[in-house]
Amino acid sequence: MFSHMITELDGQKIPVAVRRSKQRRRTVQLQCNSGNFVLNVPADYPEPLIQKFLEQRRDWIRRVQQKMHKQKELRTIRPDEVIVTEFYSLRVVVDEKLIYPKFRAVREPGKKSSVFHLAPEFFLPENQLKLFANLEKYLLAQMAKSGADSLIERTRTLAMQHKIEIKEVTVKVQKSRLGYCTYDNRIMINARMLFSPPALRDYVICHELAHTRHKNHSKQFWAYLEKLYPGAKAADKKLRDSSLYSMRVNP
């Protein structure tokens, strides 16, 4: 059962959806889902305690809002924007002849770059998410073609360096998994890692190489991974920030 409350932060009114559950006995949990704050509480949790809890979480709410604002800036695309990556580049232009939601991509001859022609309405605030998704999908497909060999070569280099035998390395576009290692030591690396810094790419590669010896995430796995990639735990925490392996407009 849902109800709604308003909490104030720095003069701004922030709506919070309160979800009461009979299955929840004691714990109270505040989440942010797709930019919306949701508070999970027991069914009989009193409103004064809810207000008190939200007051105690003001700093967390502020940090989440700052992070969302930063992500919005990283994903705001303007006319004549140029998105540059190590493996491929895009230039975004307005095409008055196109009717929303039409667009067309023109690859520049002899270059690892394209010009993306878009209907003017794409640049309206309410269409920015769709614009970002279209551009990222196209850019990722081109990067997978032009940068796959780089990821494969780096994986084989690190495998040889650590005397690890692998059968095959592939690069694919995946929504969530950044990599995996099969039971017979075939490794897949997500093409999204081409967006990330080289050191973070190495971490994901070493993570999958460590799975050639340990097929789980046991203490033995992490100890072995630490030998392959010192500072593995810290690198793993960085991967919670999906912007590190997503298209960035204003890095």
pLDDT tens digits for range 141-153: 999 999 999 999 9
42 and 25 Cβ atoms separated by less than 8 Å: yes
HEC-encoded secondary structure of 19-83: EEECCCCCCCEEEEECCEEEEEEECCCCHHHHHHHHHHCHHHHHHHHHHHHHHHHHHCCCCCCEE
Residues 116-135 pLDDT 10s: 999 999 999 899 989 999 99
What is the C-alpha to C-alpha distance for residues 39 and 20, in angstroms, rounded to an integer?
8
**82-245 placed in CATH 3.30.2010.10:** yes
Question: Sign of dihedral through CA atoms 171, 174, 180, 186?
Answer: negative
**pLDDT < 70: residue spans in the chain:** 1-2, 5, 9, 34, 71-74, 250-251
pTM, two decimals, is 0.76
Enclosing H/E stretch for 107: strand 103-107
* In the chain, domain spans: 2-74, 82-245
What is the C-alpha to C-alpha distance for residues 60 and 138, in angstroms, rounded to an integer?
35
Radius of gyration over every alpha carbon of the chain, rounded to an integer in angstroms: 23
